[in-house]
């Protein structure tokens, strides 16, 4: 399951989010979400690990029908206070989402995988509930800021002491393992000390500049593919109790002399 935010850790996260660093990242995320998801108004999106609702507000501004889930009851209460009836919120874990298959168009995990024991079950669950795209946003362990945050966590009681950062190649591998050979694209925020709109993409250039796999924040988007869809219809009536069709009546009469053959075997012999 991983680290669950209590009141103290939630307050520490909110302090960081309200800092200049957090606010610049938030403004860049708005651009990144729009470019990566390319959503239509009214599409449904699930924010997995929604916290107190910061990213739900960004998604709502894009015209999306937003829902959120978090393992922290404190975070869910805070999100309900901020968003009210504008959002569906549920208490649950990223590894076992309380939603139906393909219930959403998109699923996003932003600053979520860093606090889980294993990212694979969470990504698989995201793939179960989404039908178009999955977006993952993580702090880059190979960036200067990422190294600094981890060092701070070693020597003091920092929020990032509980976090596991990832690099671009790790995240690509996790997405492939969880979802199969799906098309992937990625984008990055080079530095939270830079201009808030300074966003780069690993596939196409969103603003300006080159792809930056060593940027502070990485965003990967997986487009889900379905080669086939099935609708299973269970047989609720036993074979011997079901009425036979006119065409099949003679065939079943011919099977009557067969002794010691059960109904299932008769069905298979046809």
Strands 104-110, 88-91: pairing kind: unpaired
* Predicted confidence band of residue 144 (pLDDT cuts 50, 70, 90): low
CATH architecture observed for domain 7-223 = 3-Layer(aba) Sandwich (3.40)
**61: part of which helix (H) or strand (E)?**
helix 54-61
Nearest to 182 by CA among 124, 112, 230: 124
pLDDT value at 269 more than 80: no
When mean pLDDT is compared across 22-31, 94-103, 148-157, 168-177, the lowest value belongs to 148-157
How many CB atoms sit inside 10 A of residue 150's CB?
17
For 184-192, what is the mean pLDDT?
A: 81
Question: φ, ψ for residue 250 (rounded to 5)?
Answer: -65, -35
Nearest C-alpha neighbor of 123 from the set 173, 78, 79 = 173
Strand arrangement of the beta sheet that strand 217-223 belongs to:
88-91, 65-70, 44-48, 104-110, 130-139, 217-223, 184-189, 200-201
Query: Six-digit token pair at 154?
Result: 């070693």
* Amino acid 270: pLDDT: 40
- Residue 6 DSSP code: -
3-state secondary structure of 97: coil
Residues 6+ away with beta carbon under 8 Å from 242: none
The confidence score (pLDDT) of residue 205 equals: 36
3-state secondary structure of 148: helix
Return the percentage of the chain with pLDDT > 90, whole number.
Answer: 48
Tokens 């009425």 found at? 243
CA distances from residue 56 to 47, 107, 113, 181, 270 in whole angstroms, order as listed: 7, 12, 17, 29, 56
pLDDT score of 113 more than 50: yes
Residue 78 has pLDDT above 80, yes or no: yes
Q: Where in the chain is the domain with CATH 3.40.50.150?
A: 7-223
Interatomic CA distance for residues 136 and 122, integer angstroms: 11
CB 1 within 8 A of CB 72: no
Helix-helix angle 7-18:73-83, to 10 degrees: 50
Measured CA to CA, the distance from residue 46 to residue 92 in angstroms comes to: 12
Does residue 219 contact residue 199 with C-beta atoms inside 8 Å? no
Nearby residues of 81 by Cβ (< 8 Å), 6 or more positions away: none
pLDDT tens digit sequence for 235-251: 666 655 555 554 554 54
Interval 196-241: pLDDT, tens: 344 444 443 343 334 577 888 899 999 998 755 556 666 666 655 5
* 16 vs 148, higher pLDDT: 16
- 68 pLDDT band, cuts 50/70/90, is very high
The tens digit of pLDDT for each residue in 16-50 reads: 778 777 777 788 888 899 999 999 999 999 999 99
The confidence band for 266, taking pLDDT boundaries of 50, 70 and 90, is very low
What rounded mean pLDDT belongs to the chain? 78
Higher pLDDT, 80 or 248: 80
């Amino acid at each position: 399951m991983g680290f669950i935010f209590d009141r103290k850790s939630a307050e520490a996260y909110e302090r960081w989010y309200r800092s200049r660093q957090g606010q610049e990242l938030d403004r860049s995320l708005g651009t990144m979400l729009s470019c990566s998801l390319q959503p239509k108004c009214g599409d449904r999106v699930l924010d997995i690990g929604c916290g107190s609702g910061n990213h739900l507000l960004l998604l709502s501004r894009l015209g999306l029908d937003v829902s959120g889930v978090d393992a922290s009851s404190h975070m869910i209460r805070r999100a309900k206070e901020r968003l009210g009836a504008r959002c569906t919120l549920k208490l649950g874990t990223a590894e076992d989402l309380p939603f139906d298959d393909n219930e959403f168009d998109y699923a996003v995990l932003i600053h979520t995988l860093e606090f889980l024991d294993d990212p694979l079950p969470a990504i698989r669950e995201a793939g179960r509930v989404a039908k178009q795209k999955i977006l993952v946003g993580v702090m880059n362990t190979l960036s200067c800021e990422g190294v600094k945050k981890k060092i701070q966590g070693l020597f003091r009681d920092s929020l990032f002491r509980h976090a596991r950062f990832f690099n671009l190649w790790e995240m690509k591998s996790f997405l492939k393992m969880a979802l199969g050979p799906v098309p992937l694209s990625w984008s990055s925020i080079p530095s939270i000390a830079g201009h808030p709109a300074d966003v780069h993409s690993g596939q196409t250039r969103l603003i300006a500049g080159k792809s930056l796999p060593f940027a502070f924040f990485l965003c990967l988007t997986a487009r889900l593919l379905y080669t086939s869809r099935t609708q299973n219809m269970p047989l609720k009536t036993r074979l011997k109790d079901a009425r036979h069709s006119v065409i099949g009546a003679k065939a079943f009469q011919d099977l009557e002399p067969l002794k010691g053959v059960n109904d299932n075997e008769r069905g298979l012999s046809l």
